[in-house]
């Protein structure tokens, strides 16, 4: 499943900065726009995987998973 997220990006001085609207804490800065987009994708993937593992760990045992679309 491919889920889309919104990256807000802008140039601040010599740096490109960006963050993901939907996921707090996913933000990056790079010297080029292309590097920023790549770095923010990697950071987003890592944050989603960390959050997934954290949620499953907190659930303990005897849980179920349900897919939800919004």
The pLDDT tens digits for 4-54 are 999 999 999 999 999 999 999 999 999 999 999 999 999 999 999 999 999
pLDDT at position 56 over 70: yes
Query: Residue 6: which region, alpha, beta or left (left: phi > 0; alpha: psi -120 to 50)?
Result: beta
- Can you tell me the distance from the alpha carbon of 11 to that of 62, in angstroms, rounded to the nearest whole number? 48
Residue among 48, 30, 50 nearest 39 (CA): 30
- pTM of the shown model: 0.86
Residue-range domain boundaries for the chain:
1-32
Q: Which residue has the tokens 């997934």?
A: 52
């Amino acid at each position: 499943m491919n889920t889309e997220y919104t990256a807000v990006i802008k140039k601040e001085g010599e740096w490109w900065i960006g963050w993901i609207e939907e996921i707090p804490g996913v933000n990056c800065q790079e010297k080029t726009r292309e590097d920023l987009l790549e770095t923010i994708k990697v950071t987003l993937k890592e944050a989603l995987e960390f959050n997934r593992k954290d949620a499953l760990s907190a659930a303990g045992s005897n849980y179920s998973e349900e897919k939800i679309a919004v």
